[in-house]
Chain A
Amino acid sequence: MTDRRSGNGHGNGQIDGHGNGRLVVEDLENMTFQVHRKVFVAPDVLEREQRSIFDKCWVYVGHASEVRNPGDFRTRSVAGRPVIFCRDRQGQVRALFNVCRHRGALVCREREGNARQFMCIYHGWSYNTDGSIKGIPGDDAYPPGFDKRGKGLVPVPRLAHYKDFYFANLDPDAVDLETYLAGAKDYIDLVVDQSPSGRMEIISGTQEYDIKANWKLLVENSVDDYHLVTTHSTWLNYMRNSGVNVTPAKGHMLPTKGFGKDLGNGHLTTDNPNYRGRPVARWISVYGEEAKADIDAIRKELVGRLGEARAARVADTNRNLCVFPSLVINDGSSVTVRHFHPVGPDLMRVTAWALGPVEETEAQRARRLHAFLTFYGPGGFATPDDVAALELAQQGYAAWREVPWTDLSRGMGKSQEQLATDEGHLRVFWRKWSELVEPRP
């Protein structure tokens, strides 16, 4: 297919001969795009990612609906740091390092709850929900001039939200969130527009699981439609058995012709005409006959509020969105918000939730959750096979020195738009990754 100048590497761990030592090699002349598999195994690459990606980019923290009331909190890991994501007693959303100023112990141990204060169990230092210091036992022992009031919990350097999705940035000098999100905002809007009031909520129940693979493989996998037919044939069977038409469109690998898109700043998405049903608002047989009228009503509300064209955009397309580096919002069989972070080069921790409009009736919410589990999650009909594929890839990288290059050249020769089954949108991620991790002098 492509003319590879350096086939099988040199077996000595060097990246020589091909790419001049670079890990991401785009060769426009020969139309190849290759990534060196060192990026999936090397601890020093992970360290560079931590410093130049996770410490510099806007990283997902949580959704406003998770801290709805004053005092509500969730403990989270943000770029590997322990953080309390909370709404203070005055109603402001905060992200505070979950670290006592005295000796550094975590001050909040629960996953979630409602608090009046956070108290360290070690020496009893306590903090208000806005992070300010509340009490230091025996504070008369500190010398005069000891800055007690300056000993509050440290907030993350930057916290901002776009339509209730909260992000933190450890870099005080980072560009503002909306500039950072660039074209990804339009695709978040398409998700949020499903709610009549523009208010979506995280539904209770968290799917938190490890994948024994490098985190970047999940970025690729979340937006890669090329793998669907082989990796997810049992899901396709399930849909077919349930009366859903999953026959590939003429000349295509998938039932509909979808696209992969560059949203700027390393963000990317698929954009596919729907065939797999949508709780808002496209009926499929899996939902049952009794759901038809309800889906019609949801559709009618959508058209009334947004007009025909925008309603069709919201209700008739599926979009797997990746916000660089590691937030994925899949608006497909249902909506899932999926965030992940590396634990090591060959291990990631994934946290996933379901998202839905706050106005949903009981029946609509139950349908959304049922639809979610047809595909997504560690017990779904598809995600476990994605995990299997990623873990197999990671196992293959034990031979990264001998078989060093991953190929992402699909679609490179095309003059027209990149399909979702091409790899143009995956290349968007890798170009951004390369720009940050191996900047050109």
Chain B
Amino acid sequence: MSQAVNPAAMVTRAEVEDFLFHEADLLDNWRLDDWLGLLTDDASYYVPPNDKPDGDHRFTLFTVADDIVRLRERVIRLNDPNCHAEYPPSHTRRLITNVRITGSEGDLILVSANFAIFRHRRNEAAPRQFVGRYRYKLRQTSAGLKIHERRAILDAEELGAMGAVSFLL
């Protein structure tokens, strides 16, 4: 990083954790328009396929690979009662742990975290469990931390009983 300011050194882990916990709270409460406010204007969101967790979405079929345009459309969809897969909306609970600042990339702060998301669906007694790791690229802006990229990587080798990734992972 030589002489340039290292953005990762300008933020504490506690600040990053607070940010991720806030994001989780917005998502669990389906405050999706507010959640969009956490994103940069060039943000992207990826869920790699279970069998190629380190794949590149340009060459590999992902489960989700949204640029900001499609991400905004995804939120429009999720807010629509005709998004049948999420109506009534699932009840989700995200446990976010092992948050670490792992480095930087230009002006971006690289962050990793683990997640366990319990998704309760209408009429299903047992929750569907989504377990994995996040890889974030955050940017410090005048309005605070923003998400430039978020990647939710599932541990399971197959999506299997998780079924669809119809909510924001």
Using known A-B contacts A238-B73, A369-B57, determine if residue A204 contacts B52 with beta carbons closer than 8 Å: yes
Interface mask (B126-169 → A, CB under 8 Å = 1, otherwise 0) = 00000000000000000000000000000001111111111000
Interface mask (B40-62 → A, CB under 8 Å = 1, otherwise 0) = 00000001111110010111111
In this complex, what residue of B is CB-closest to A367? B58
* B80 interface contact, C-beta 8 A: yes
Q: Tell whether, in the assembled complex, residue A366 and residue B52 are in contact, meaning their CB atoms are under 8 Å apart.
A: no
Residue of B47, B52, B84 contacting most chain A CB atoms (<10 Å): B84
Return chain B residues, CB-CB under 8 Å to A209.
158-160, 162-164
Return chain A residues, CB-CB under 8 Å to B159.
207-210, 378
Q: Tell whether, in the assembled complex, residue A211 and residue B163 are in contact, meaning their CB atoms are under 8 Å apart.
A: yes
* B123 interface contact, C-beta 8 A: yes
One of A349, A369, A383 near B61 (C-beta < 8 A): A369
Q: Tell whether, in the assembled complex, residue A205 and residue B76 are in contact, meaning their CB atoms are under 8 Å apart.
A: no
Return chain B residues, CB-CB under 8 Å to A349.
160
* A14 interface contact, C-beta 8 A: no
* B63 interface contact, C-beta 8 A: yes
Q: Smallest CB–CB gap between B47 and chain A, Å?
A: 6
* A316 interface contact, C-beta 8 A: no
Using known A-B contacts A111-B157, A234-B82, A379-B47, determine if residue A207 contacts B61 with beta carbons closer than 8 Å: yes
Return chain A residues, CB-CB under 8 Å to B57.
366, 369
* B64 interface contact, C-beta 8 A: yes
Q: Give the CA-CA distance A14 to B69 in the complex, in Å.
A: 54
* B83 interface contact, C-beta 8 A: yes
Return chain A residues, CB-CB under 8 Å to B83.
234, 385
Q: Give the CA-CA distance A378 to B62 in the complex, in Å.
A: 10
Q: Smallest CB–CB gap between A279 and chain B, Å?
A: 13
Q: Tell whether, in the assembled complex, residue A204 and residue B60 are in contact, meaning their CB atoms are under 8 Å apart.
A: yes
Using known A-B contacts A205-B49, A388-B85, determine if residue A366 contacts B58 with beta carbons closer than 8 Å: yes
Q: Tell whether, in the assembled complex, residue A207 and residue B77 are in contact, meaning their CB atoms are under 8 Å apart.
A: no
* B93 interface contact, C-beta 8 A: no
Q: Tell whether, in the assembled complex, residue B65 and residue A206 are in contact, meaning their CB atoms are under 8 Å apart.
A: no
Known: A362-B59, A387-B85. 17 other contacts (CB 8 A): A204-B52, A205-B62, A207-B63, A209-B158, A210-B160, A242-B69, A366-B58, A369-B61, A378-B63, A378-B159, A378-B166, A379-B47, A379-B63, A379-B64, A384-B166, A387-B163, A388-B164
| Residues of B that sit less than 8 Å from A by CB | 47-52, 55, 57-66, 69-70, 73-74, 76-77, 80, 82-86, 123, 157-166
Q: List 25 A-B contacts (CB under 8 A).
A: A204-B60, A205-B49, A205-B61, A205-B62, A206-B52, A206-B61, A207-B49, A208-B50, A208-B51, A209-B158, A234-B83, A237-B77, A237-B80, A241-B73, A349-B160, A369-B62, A370-B65, A373-B62, A379-B47, A379-B164, A381-B77, A384-B166, A385-B84, A388-B85, A388-B166
